[in-house]
Structure 1
């Protein structure tokens, strides 16, 4: 697989489809990896799109170059990684489709780099104006148990000991039973063996609610995001009607956050992993959105 070096990372990625076609960056979620897009990319490539699919920092084959670099898992860091990869590939303008953590990066790319991003599609995650993480309602807080678990020292230690076991719980409980094959989970779980997976995971979640060490090179992006409450980029949001992590209620009253238009597509009977659970439907929606 190809790889490029930024100032911080060696990013490993897939680059498929027609070289001269419009580019879609496909950004996977947590806990997942680039395999999430394997059934979509042939459809997108056949429709004329070039797809670039990186392992996010802390996942799979992507590696930090220096031991001393802070393992910052915030969305602004993920967004900057995409810009760095696009620059290295000489791609000035592109589309973004992201799932879960990748969806957050998609929103942030649209907010912080609007001249680079033509349209975005976000799956299984609602937009957070100003990049804020308010304490959710009691019902949603119950669904977010894993985030509070990470905020305890004992929970963090348990995740470091068994990242695959922790990830399996999310796969087992966020979508209807029987949605995945054991072999597919195990192949994907290889990405959770990245030496920085636990550190990036813990930093990404703990920094939302607790004082955490972060990489100050992203302070300016975070400051800019704190002043952005609406997106001007045309947006498609796809959610699962049976998602038990981010249920349909999470996506209510989003229209006021999008001045460039936002289409909400709810897939009944689908859980938290739409690219895997309904690849044909998702691919068709992306093709329609990115050719509009």
Structure 2
């Protein structure tokens, strides 16, 4: 697996597709890793697309170079990781596809470096531009794991069984039987990264102001809050059976985009469309990215 050294990280990534094709950055979410795109990438490999698929900080083989660097993971600092990767690969213009955490990283990239992002595709997690609002009680109930992570005892419990904590999200967020033991077991190895827990905790605590964002990324965090809409071509892919971000939450996503936009709903699909229905996701991405 290729590895690129940035100022802060050794980023491991998968690169596949056409070597001189149109660059596409695919970003995974939580609790997941870069292999989430395997089946989609297999179906896009014959297209004129150069696919770059990194493991985010704290996941799998991506590691911090310095023990003293804070294990922060707000969206803006993760976007800065992604730009450092693309800079290191010499890629100036690209499209970005993001699922879950990756969805927010994608919009941060688009807001921070609009001249570099051609198209944006977001899966499952709705845009946060304009600021993240406290959800209504029913949605807060689905976000129980986020509130759990904000507590000292919650963090201690997860430290004792990080794979068990991740697994219950997989079970809750999509229809029964959508994954097998081998698939989860393979991905769960990425959670053995020593930085997975602090990175995970910071990501969820910072979004509800229980932690501060990485100060180096404050400029971009503010820019995301100030931005009301984006005008580049965009699509939003959502499973109708999403168990953590119900499909009705994306009904008004079109209001965040003033350029060409399409919302795509997938039947009998939960929170992981790229794993649950890679055929449909690959088809829609091919049409969008080559459009």
**In which range does the TM-score fall when normalised by the shorter chain?**
over 0.9
Question: Offset of 1:134 from its aligned partner?
Answer: 1.4
Q: Per-residue CA shift, 1:68-87, capped at 9, x if unaligned? A: 11111111111111110000
Instruction: Give the structure-1-normalised TM-score.
Output: 0.97
1:255 aligns with 2:254: yes
Q: Tell me, which stretches of 5 or more residues in structure 1 are unaligned?
A: none
Distance in 2, matches of 1:190 and 1:206, equals: 24
Q: Paired residue for 1:184?
A: 183
Question: Offset of 1:233 from its aligned partner?
Answer: 1.8
C-alpha RMSD over aligned residues? 1.0
Question: Offset of 1:291 from its aligned partner?
Answer: 0.9
Please state whether the residue corresponding to 1:38 is helix, strand or coil: helix
Q: Which moved more, 1:273-282 or 1:75-84?
A: 75-84
Distance in 1, matches of 2:48 and 2:104, equals: 26
Instruction: Give the structure-2-normalised TM-score.
Output: 0.98
Distance in 2, matches of 1:179 and 1:254, equals: 26
Task: Write out aligned runs for 1:73-222 (5 A).
Answer: 73-130=73-130, 132-222=131-221
Q: Paired residue for 2:35?
A: 35
Report if aligned partners of 2:16, 2:51 keep a CA contact under 8 Å in 1.
yes
- Runs of 4 or more above 4 Å deviation: none
Question: Offset of 1:227 from its aligned partner?
Answer: 1.4
Q: Tell me, which stretches of 5 or more residues in structure 2 are unaligned?
A: none
Distance in 2, matches of 1:50 and 1:172, equals: 33
Please state whether the residue corresponding to 1:259 is helix, strand or coil: coil
Q: Paired residue for 2:279?
A: 280
The alignment of Structure 1 onto Structure 2 pairs a total of residues equal to: 291
Residues 213 and 137 (structure 1 numbering): CA distance in 2 closer, same or farther, change over 3 Å?
closer
Q: Paired residue for 1:57?
A: 57
